Amino acid sequence: MGAHRSKAIEWRRSLEQIRHREGVVEIAIAHGSAGQGLAFDSDINPSVANLLWRLRIVEVGTEEFAVERPSSNGRPIDIPRGTALIGAVTIEKDRWMFRSRVLGIWTPSTGFSATNRGIRIAMPHHVERCLRRATRITVTGMRLPKIEMWPLLEPSSAAPCEKAYETALQRAKDGFPPVAPSDGVLPKVGAGFQATLVNIGSGGLGVLVEPEDAVALSYHRLFWVRFGLGAVMPIPIAASARIVHTHIDAAHRVFAGVSFNFDLNPAYQSVVGEQIIQVISKISSSAAHDPEHDQPVRAA
């Protein structure tokens, strides 16, 4: 058996093991040519950061595998066929990165609800081992966005801020130049800090907080958060959010699972959800299928 075929079989076997453990693959839409290997996307398009999902693997085949459909605030997100992707998986102590593309919609045959949908991803020809620089978090090869966080001292004070962002988004939708609310539009908050947005899920975010700022997580559970993705998101996403769990890595940084909080304004959930969907649509349109990506390359 040739080395290339042997490594490809081993890779598929590893994905199948992850699937049996109900594990995940980390997926981001690539910005720029899919034929550029694993070059940093920030070198290709420095104005756009990567938005990363953690998606469960639901099926593994010979030429493709499938993951659950990404979503935001309960709303499914469509990623068009041919969209270039960057992916990463953790196998024991190593992380492996790859480039691939979306093949289309995955529909389950057995073992899943008939309403369950997913996305089919081409089996990568080439994977690269990268340093595991933070427990459970892949940061190598991706330009992850920064997120601003402030302890929310008075939850009801977020209502006027939410209205300001909703109005700004509506004006942009009506054709006016997009203008984000000023920094003066903040609820009643404590001292803020910046963290790294490492992934996004169906109802919240994963953030990485540096040791010097992590003390705030010990005293507060509710925060006002705000983040953008560069030029593709001139009006950032801003909302109340609750810390639901934390994990300290070997470098004493804190990974925090954060859930959006719409208890006092349920209608604002649809505003944030629609904003994320619009951003994904814009990013996807710039990550169109590149025929060069179909050319086989040597396996790692």
Which residue has tokens 């990506």? 293
Same domain, 186 and 165: yes
**The two three-digit tokens of residue 129, written as one number:** 């081992």
Distance CA 240, CA 155 (A): 8
- pLDDT of 251 reads 85
Same domain, 111 and 175: no
- pLDDT of 187 reads 96
Domain residue limits at 183: 146-284
CATH number of domain containing 186: 2.40.10
Q: Does the residue 290 lie in any domain?
A: no
Measuring CA to CA, how many Å separate 50 from each of 40, 204, 258, 284?
10, 16, 18, 12
- pLDDT of 4 reads 52
Same domain, 34 and 78: yes
Write down the pTM of the prediction. Answer: 0.76
Of 102, 118, 142, which residue sits at a domain end?
142
CATH number of domain containing 113: 2.30.110.10
Q: Are 275 and 237 in contact (CB under 8 A)?
A: yes
- pLDDT of 290 reads 45
Select from 98, 117, 119, 79 the least CA-distant residue to 286. Answer: 79
- pLDDT of 235 reads 92
Q: CB within 8 A of 141, min separation 6: which ones? A: 38, 40, 41, 86, 88, 97, 130
Same domain, 65 and 129: yes
Give the number of domains in the chain.
Answer: 2
- Whether the CA torsion 212, 216, 221, 223 is positive or negative: it is negative
Same domain, 172 and 254: yes
Which residues of the chain are under the pLDDT cut of 70?
Answer: 1-8, 31-49, 73-74, 110-116, 131-142, 202, 285-300
- pLDDT of 177 reads 93
Distance CA 175, CA 159 (A): 25
